[in-house]
């Protein structure tokens, strides 16, 4: 969807707005986890619910198969609050430089965890069954998301492998193999 | 809790912060609905999770017995997004003057509904079983809440019954009976 | 007026702007109070003064006949400051739950009273003569207004009378009579 | 008053707040105009009404004797809206560089004029009688005020007269005479 | 450039954006100082770098010949931070009324000075050689600029010379000569 | 420095503020590049210049030896604008998911490049000599910084190597070697 103005998509004509513009159905159903990371995601943001435009909140259902993982990522414009619906879930975030302090918890059903805006965080299903959780962000489209492995090793076009090798202390050959995987 | 500064409670010493400051447990358990409205509420905001300070988001679990109801109310500083976990739930909000347009839906498990910041809204269990829902707001303590029947007829001290009778087109006697109930 | 963008109506071409876009005339004249509540209102906001677009302030003149009243209402996006020009005026506001504390004053000519953003408040002419006041809000169209009796009992379509009876502790019949009046 | 925090003075203990914290009396009385410019000013901001803290609005009464003038000034953090209560008043503002467009009106009783935040503006009593006006700003202390003649020629310590002569195209001697007057 | 929306110029189609939209070349070259004040200015803001739209920062190179001066001015929407690249530079700002306190420094190569948003400030080459500096503002077009001598004495149309004479304590004749120079 | 309030460090007593609170000296000198990455950094933010408190801007000088590099990093609360003072510098940023578009330029003396708030970006000296640049951010302490290699592989305590191996498609042994290096 194209943002036509600096403050977001144009508004719908108010006389045409209905209750359906504030409604979404289906978060009781598991998200599709048929991918290499075993991680499913059903977003409920401005693209699904037009009435959220400018309102500064969105939710999503996330599902993880056993050993499923969301890669380390950042929401540059939103704080995240996750509530586990079923299964168990290791979550954590890392504070900014120079502390790089790692806060982590293994959550069970009914547990809640907060990740402050802009920090590297992750989620990993360390249990034996599937995990489902409801996540909320204070942005109308979860504030964008930067998946770090992909942004770093899967950028398009590639970031220089010399540079990545130098700053990740990896062999250039390993960097190039990584880039080929993304 | 006393807000010591215009921007909220003072910050915890960062070196003493732990993962527990971002954690809450127990949203899998029903809230206490033993009250006249059959409405239970378990908040997860700044008072329960200190790490939410300034982060602009909070959640809560709400429960309603059959015929249970949350009175018409307003969150002056937060948009609300509700996801039904079980049961069914009639929700609605009314736009501001002069339209006073009423948007409403009866939600089932997995349905989501948004109420924009500052508008009168409500929730009513119109089903035969209990209803549970997870609610999120973009404020670190759901933006305060003005329960309208109580703010109008249960203010302390009372608002003049002459005035309320005049503006609600009610007999003064009925107003005074109402005030006595709150 | 239709808001075409999320941040408000589009801007006028700057080369066509004149001093008249920042000007309004006539606040020395009483507003029209020929209505059931004896309450008159002359707004000076973005619809009257296009130059106010995005500037975050507006004013109005209000007039009340003896026993005239503005119903309990809320400005979701603006703080209000009222200055009495003539007559006397009882004003008040109620804080949010759980305190529901009622702050009230009876104002005379030259008195000023502030109602914080988002709170239920009211104005009632308890004097023997007409009352006039100048009101200012920190929003370019007084932040919208939710007139509570009308939003609750005069929503379009109606909110369920079963629900309103339950949450206002009123007989369903009285609720339906009220709804018929709005 | 000392601002103890970056967001302003600390908050009063909420349990000690009364209606008087939102109240001011006396705007029906003329301000004191016994000064060289014949300009009086009675502010109603955070210093007079503690309840305005963080609320983002303030008002004042201004009075001008015939030929009385408020010097060109700027409110760096507030838009201004003036309503004339009696007399006549020439007002104007100048847009920023490079246009430097001058918008002006001579207002009569009941007229309203808006000056956008941050612009040079002025007020001058061009009538034969006294002028009174009510002014509102969207800041809790009218956003500070920079009186330009004083800030430029009356700064403490003085700005270099060589510099001022050079940039105002004035003789250095005239600049120094001006500085002596402030 | 015409601002089409209240939040600024419309966005470029994201699929057409390139690295050049975030790029500018040439700040190593002196700005043109061939003017009466010996003051050159090469801006790098939203008009030069479209990718700055909404991002809230801009820079510029400024150059001053010996005795060159930027007139007293105000950025209504931006704080300024200047770093001297070569030469020496007297800078200063004046706080708002009633203090009108003048903070000033004579900077050398490698020195940095901050002027808070909205305050009168200036820069004057008091050295024997040319001065160059890099300036940054937290606004995508340095927050507009009000050059005070021009806004006051060069407004279009003129501000009344009677008024300016009265508030600057200058002879009306001198005011009119000044107005003729701008 | 400990932030005592949610909006930052407390304010200095205004009567004790001097021009030195807005001043910093020494950006003409190279930063210390004696480290494994050949990257030097001299910040000028709120810790160096107390007067920047709340003002939303800061600068720094950065230096890179040949082949020197700043690792991929994110400023969660600030846009960055870099101006090259000498040498050449490859810079780039990557947009958020799903595009992961890489924008890059090799800058020469006098070139300017912008990195939008919250995005992964980097700087690499691809020239034969030293590189120096002046950087500005619209935050009073460059908005914190998350150095990604360190936040991911050098968090304290470690993030699970199983998890990192899984999401970076690396052998667990390589992950553990990496963690040992940080």
Q: What is the DSSP string of chain F?
A: ----BTTBSPPPPGGG--GGGGEE--TTSPP---STT-EEEEEESTTT-GGGTTT--EEEEEEE-TT-EEEEEE-TT--EEEEEEES-EEEEEEPPTTT-BEEEEEE-TT-EEEE-TT-EEEEE--SSS-EEEEEEESSTTTT--EEHHHHHHS-BSPPPHHHHHHHHT--HHHHHHHHHH-
- Answer whether D53 sits within 8 Å of B4, measured CB to CB: no
Q: Does D96 reach chain C within 8 Å, measured CB to CB?
A: no
Sheet holding F58-64, edge to edge: E23-24, F112-115, F80-86, F131-137, F58-64, F39-44
Query: What mean pLDDT is predicted for residues B103-124?
Result: 97
For residues B130 and D20, what is the distance between their CA atoms, to the nearest angstrom?
46
Q: What is the pLDDT confidence band of residue F130, given thresholds at 50, 70 and 90?
A: very high
Q: Chain-wide mean pLDDT for chain C?
A: 95
Tell me the angle at which helices D161-168 and D172-181 cross, rounded to the nearest 10 degrees. 110
Pairing relationship of beta strands E102-107 and B39-44 according to DSSP bridges = unpaired
Among E55, E111, E138, beta carbon nearest to F56: E138
For residues A128 and A131, what is the distance between their CA atoms, to the nearest angstrom?
9
| D141-166: burial string, b at 16+ Cβ within 10 Å, e else | bbbbbbbbbbbbbbbeeebbbebbbb
- The CA distances from residue C85 to A58, B163, D133, in Å, are 46, 22, 12
Cα dihedral value A109, A115, A117, A120, nearest 10:
-120
If one counts every other C-beta atom within 10 angstroms of the C-beta of residue F25, the result is 18
What is the per-residue DSSP string for F103-134? EEEEE-TT-EEEE-TT-EEEEE--SSS-EEEE
| Tokens linked to D131 | 């002028």
Query: Chain C: residue nearest A12 by CA?
Result: C4
Query: Chain D: residue nearest C26 by CA?
Result: D110
**Cis geometry, peptide bond prior to residue B157 (ω within 30 degrees of 0):** yes
Which residue segments constitute the domains of chain F, with CATH numbers given?
Answer: 25-143 (2.60.120.10), 145-182 (no CATH)
Residue B4 predicted with pLDDT over 80 = no
Q: Pick left, alpha or beta for residue F28 (phi over 0 → left; psi -120 to 50 → alpha; otherwise beta).
A: alpha
Residue C114 predicted with pLDDT over 60 = yes
Among E72, E146, E150, beta carbon nearest to D152: E72
Q: Give D154-157 contacts, CB < 8 A, sequence gap 24+.
A: D154/D179, D154/D181, D154/D182, D154/E100, D155/E94, D155/E100, D155/E101, D155/E102, D156/E99, D156/E100, D156/E101, D156/E102, D157/E102
Lowest mean pLDDT among A4-8, C31-35, E156-160: A4-8
Note the pLDDT of residue D9: 85
Residue E1 predicted with pLDDT over 50 = no
Picking from A6, A9, A11, A77 by the largest number of E CB atoms within 10 A of its own CB, the best residue to mutate is A6
* Contact between residue E88 and residue E149 where contact means Cβ atoms under 8 Å apart: no
Q: What is the pLDDT confidence band of residue A176, given thresholds at 50, 70 and 90?
A: very high
Q: Does B70 reach chain A within 8 Å, measured CB to CB?
A: no
Closest among C25, C31, C106 to C61, alpha carbons compared: C31
Task: Give the DSSP H or E segment for C83.
Answer: strand C80-86
The subunits that touch chain A, with at least 3 C-beta pairs less than 8 Å apart, are B, C, E, F
**Across chain E, which distance is largest between two alpha carbons, in Å?**
60
- pLDDT tens string C66-90: 999 999 999 999 999 999 999 999 9
- Answer whether C3 sits within 8 Å of A14, measured CB to CB: yes
For residues E99 and D144, what is the distance between their CA atoms, to the nearest angstrom?
11
Note the pLDDT of residue D4: 67
Q: Does E157 reach chain C within 8 Å, measured CB to CB?
A: no
> Vertex E12, ends E7 and E13: CA angle to 5°?
125
**Cis geometry, peptide bond prior to residue C13 (ω within 30 degrees of 0):** no
Q: Does E3 reach chain A within 8 Å, measured CB to CB?
A: no
For residues B56 and A81, what is the distance between their CA atoms, to the nearest angstrom?
10
In 3-state terms, what secondary structure has residue B28?
Answer: coil
For residues B138 and E103, what is the distance between their CA atoms, to the nearest angstrom?
41
- Answer whether D5 sits within 8 Å of B6, measured CB to CB: yes
List the pLDDT tens digit at each of the 182 positions of chain D. 345 688 888 888 889 999 999 999 999 999 999 999 999 999 999 999 999 999 999 999 999 999 999 999 999 999 999 999 999 999 999 999 999 999 999 999 999 999 999 999 999 999 999 999 999 999 998 888 999 999 999 999 999 999 999 999 999 999 999 999 98
Residues 6+ apart with CB under 8 A from F141: F43, F45, F46, F47, F52, F58
Note the pLDDT of residue D120: 97
Note the pLDDT of residue F2: 44
For residues F10 and F31, what is the distance between their CA atoms, to the nearest angstrom?
30
Residues 6+ apart with CB under 8 A from D8: B6, D46, D53, D54, D140
The subunits that touch chain E, with at least 3 C-beta pairs less than 8 Å apart, are A, C, D, F
* Contact between residue C54 and residue A7 where contact means Cβ atoms under 8 Å apart: no
Signed CA dihedral, E106, E108, E112, E118: sign only: positive
> Vertex E37, ends E32 and E43: CA angle to 5°?
40
Q: Which residues of D fall within a CB distance of 8 Å from C79?
A: 55-57
Q: Does F67 reach chain D within 8 Å, measured CB to CB?
A: no
Sheet holding D80-86, edge to edge: C23-24, D112-115, D80-86, D131-137, D58-64, D39-44
For residues B29 and E104, what is the distance between their CA atoms, to the nearest angstrom?
63
Name the β-bridge partners of F129.
Answer: none
- Answer whether D81 sits within 8 Å of C136, measured CB to CB: yes
Name the β-bridge partners of D107.
Answer: D89
Q: Does A154 reach chain C within 8 Å, measured CB to CB?
A: no
For residues B63 and B65, what is the distance between their CA atoms, to the nearest angstrom?
7
Token pair 């030097």 in the structure block, residue: F40
For residues B60 and A63, what is the distance between their CA atoms, to the nearest angstrom?
21
- Cβ burial, residue D176 (10 Å; 0-12/13-18/19+): middle
Query: What mean pLDDT is predicted for residues C83-100?
Result: 97
If one counts every other C-beta atom within 10 angstroms of the C-beta of residue F158, the result is 15
Pairing relationship of beta strands F112-115 and F80-86 according to DSSP bridges = antiparallel
**What is the model's pTM?**
0.95
Please name the residues between 110 and 129 in chain E that touch chain D, using a CB distance below 8 Å. 117-120, 122, 124
Closest among B107, B47, B119, B45 to B82, alpha carbons compared: B107
| Tokens linked to D101 | 């467009």
- Answer whether D22 sits within 8 Å of C113, measured CB to CB: yes
| A139-155: burial string, b at 16+ Cβ within 10 Å, e else | bbbbbbbbbbbbbbbbb
For residues D10 and B5, what is the distance between their CA atoms, to the nearest angstrom?
5
- What percent of chain F is predicted at pLDDT more than 70? 98
Asked whether at least 3 C-beta pairs link A and D within 8 Å, the reply is no
Q: What is the pLDDT confidence band of residue F162, given thresholds at 50, 70 and 90?
A: very high
Picking from B16, B25, B78 by the largest number of A CB atoms within 10 A of its own CB, the best residue to mutate is B25
- Strand (E) positions, chain D? 23-24, 39-44, 58-64, 69-74, 80-86, 89-94, 102-107, 112-115, 120-124, 131-137, 146-147
- What percent of chain B is predicted at pLDDT more than 90? 88
Note the pLDDT of residue E3: 58
Cα dihedral value D133, D134, D140, D142, nearest 10:
-20
Query: Chain A: residue nearest B87 by CA?
Result: A28
- pLDDT tens string A52-101: 999 999 999 999 999 999 999 999 999 999 999 999 999 999 999 999 99
In 3-state terms, what secondary structure has residue B53?
Answer: coil
ipTM for the predicted complex comes to 0.94
Note the pLDDT of residue A1: 39
- Answer whether D148 sits within 8 Å of E152, measured CB to CB: yes
* Contact between residue C78 and residue C139 where contact means Cβ atoms under 8 Å apart: yes
Q: Which residues of E fall within a CB distance of 8 Å from F105?
A: 19, 22-23
- Cβ burial, residue A180 (10 Å; 0-12/13-18/19+): exposed
- The CA distances from residue E9 to C71, C173, E76, in Å, are 41, 55, 19
Query: What mean pLDDT is predicted for residues A28-50?
Result: 97
Residues 6+ apart with CB under 8 A from D19: C92, C103, C104, C105
Q: Does A157 reach chain F within 8 Å, measured CB to CB?
A: yes
The Cβ-side half-sphere exposure at B80, using a 13 Å CA radius, reads 28
């Amino acid at each position: 969807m194209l943002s036509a103005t600096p403050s977001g998509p144009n508004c719908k004509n108010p006389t045409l707005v209905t209750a359906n513009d504030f409604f979404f159905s289906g978060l009781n159903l598991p998200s599709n986890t048929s991918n290499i990371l075993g991680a499913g995601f059903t977003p409920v943001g401005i693209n699904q619910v037009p009435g959220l435009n400018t309102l500064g909140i969105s939710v999503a259902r996330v599902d993880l198969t056993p050993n499923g993982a969301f890669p380390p990522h950042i929401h540059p414009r939103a704080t995240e609050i996750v509530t586990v619906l079923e299964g168990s879930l290791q979550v954590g975030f890392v504070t900014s430089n120079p502390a790089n302090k790692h806060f982590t918890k293994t959550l069970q059903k009914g547990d809640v965890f907060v990740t402050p805006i802009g920090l590297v965080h992750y989620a990993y299903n360390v249990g034996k069954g599937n995990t489902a959780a409801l996540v909320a962000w204070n942005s109308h489209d979860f504030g964008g998301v930067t998946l770090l492995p992909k942004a770093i090793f899967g950028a398009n076009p590639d970031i220089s492998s010399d540079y990545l090798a130098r700053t990740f202390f990896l062999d250039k050959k390993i960097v190039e193999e990584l880039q080929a995987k993304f």
